[in-house]
Amino acid sequence: MTENTAMKEEIFEFAFQNIQEGVIVLDDTLKVFYINSFAAKLFSNELSVENFVGENLYNFTKNQVLINAIDTVAKEGKDASLVVELSKEMLTTRFDIKKFQQNGDDMILLLLKDVTKEVEASKMRQEFFANMAHKLKTPITSIRGFAELLDAGIAKDETQRRDFSKKIVKETKNLTDIINDVLMISKLDCSDYSCDKTEFSLKPLIYNVENNVLPLAKEKNIKLVINCEDIKVVANQNYLLLAIDNLIFNAIKYNKENGNIKVDVSSMGNYVKIVVEDSGIGISPEAQLRIFERFYRSPEAKLYYPGGAGLGLSIVKHIANGYNGSVSFETEQNKGSKFTMLLSIKKID
């Protein structure tokens, strides 16, 4: 072997062992002739390349779909492609399987690609559109129903006609809110949080939120107390307003008549800490695992406040993550909840 050939083999070996796709070559007895590190990890995080070489590949997988596909390619020589869940980590892996000859011997080439994230993203998109269709269906059906009643002349007096019209306006608002929330989620998904930032004082923004929510708070005779330090921040004002607005609106919507809400805004190192505490219905243990999911609304929330798209807390979490922060909560059913949002937005002098 010449020095040049040896160098080429070293380069190819280095490349194959470091690419983010798996490569496996099987001999005519289906024993592993070659495997790179990425492929070995897809089968098991606990085994190295050396554990595979010379062993039958079927010793490392019980996936019958994959085994059948390899057997078919070996016997018939036709290429195959399939997606299977591989290893105990349940990674979704795409296999492209080809038969070839090397020095007169039959060999099988397997190319592997981890498509777990792509499959999960596809499922999320499907769930998103299914949930969105369901959420839109309710107000649209209601609007159509009342409009048809008005058109048919079933409302005999002015009071009934006005009642139907009010319900149409209410459902139209619900529909608009859902569409606006969906558009905001889409915008946040594509947003670069390093852009559109300005320097501003947080206190005026907090009291702007207070003015937005006070009418709803007064309807339920809820006492709202806000304590806000004078903090300079660098952020997108609209996003920050939206996140805080959602937290306080939720505290009002799911609060009891004559309830209390306390909002504390303070600095904590390089972070701004925003705490919203209420005396509301709390969150059930079942719902606690899902409250940040898009479109999720617990049965208790639906009963207490029928409107809403279930996107508010998802938006809050999205914005918190965008500013290298977090949102967490403590809750007790029938006693209330406390949400804490940390955002890395404090202006450093």
**Residues 98-112: tens digit of each pLDDT:** 999 988 889 999 999
Q: How many domains does the chain contain in total?
A: 3
pLDDT of residue 72: 94
Q: What is the CATH number of the domain that holds 180?
A: 1.10.287.130
Same domain, 278 and 147: no
Same domain, 220 and 320: yes
pLDDT of residue 269: 86
| Largest Cα span, the chain | 100
Same domain, 198 and 181: no
Average pLDDT over residues 82-99: 83
Q: Of 129, 164, 190, which residue sits at a domain end?
A: 190
Instruction: Domain of residue 207: give its range.
Output: 193-349
Nearest residue to 59 (alpha-carbon basis) of 71, 49, 67: 67
Residue 94: CB atoms within 10 Å: 18
DSSP 57: G
**What share of residues in the chain are helix, strand, coil (percent, to 5)?**
50, 25, 25
Q: Of the given ranges (118-127, 184-193, 318-327), which has the lowest mean pLDDT?
A: 184-193
Coil, strand or helix at 345: coil
Q: 190 pLDDT band (50/70/90 cuts)?
A: low
Same domain, 130 and 170: yes
pLDDT of residue 3: 63
Same domain, 96 and 141: no
CA distances from 312 to 150, 190, 253, 307 (A): 33, 18, 12, 12
Q: What is the CATH number of the domain that holds 96?
A: 3.30.450.20
**pLDDT beyond 90 at 148:** no
**pLDDT beyond 80 at 96:** yes
**pLDDT beyond 70 at 84:** yes
Same domain, 154 and 249: no
Task: Provide the mean pLDDT of the chain.
Answer: 86
Same domain, 35 and 129: no
- Cβ atoms 75, 93 nearer than 8 A: no
Percentage of residues in the chain having pLDDT higher than 70? 92
Q: 139 pLDDT band (50/70/90 cuts)?
A: confident
Sign of the C-alpha dihedral, residues 75, 78, 82, 87? positive
Nearest residue to 337 (alpha-carbon basis) of 267, 292, 288: 288
For the chain, give the number of residues. 349
Nearest residue to 74 (alpha-carbon basis) of 108, 39, 117: 108
pLDDT of residue 110: 94
Same domain, 310 and 287: yes
pLDDT of residue 123: 78
Tokens coding 59 = 């010793």
Same domain, 92 and 126: no
Q: 89 pLDDT band (50/70/90 cuts)?
A: low
Same domain, 178 and 213: no
**pLDDT beyond 70 at 88:** no
**pLDDT beyond 60 at 1:** no
Average pLDDT over residues 123-133: 73
- pTM, two decimals, is 0.59
Encode pLDDT of 10-43 as tens digits.
Answer: 777 777 777 888 999 999 899 999 999 999 888 8
Q: Of 71, 99, 114, which residue sits at a domain end?
A: 114
CA–CA distance, 165 with 248 (Å, rounded to integer) = 30
Q: Of 85, 114, 143, which residue sits at a domain end?
A: 114
More confident residue, 87 or 149: 149
- Cβ atoms 57, 26 nearer than 8 A: yes
Same domain, 271 and 329: yes
CA angle 161, 167, 172 (to 5 degrees): 125
**pLDDT beyond 60 at 77:** yes
Same domain, 75 and 103: yes
- Cβ atoms 300, 278 nearer than 8 A: no
Residue 118: CB atoms within 10 Å: 13
**pLDDT beyond 90 at 158:** no
Coil, strand or helix at 52: helix
pLDDT of residue 7: 66
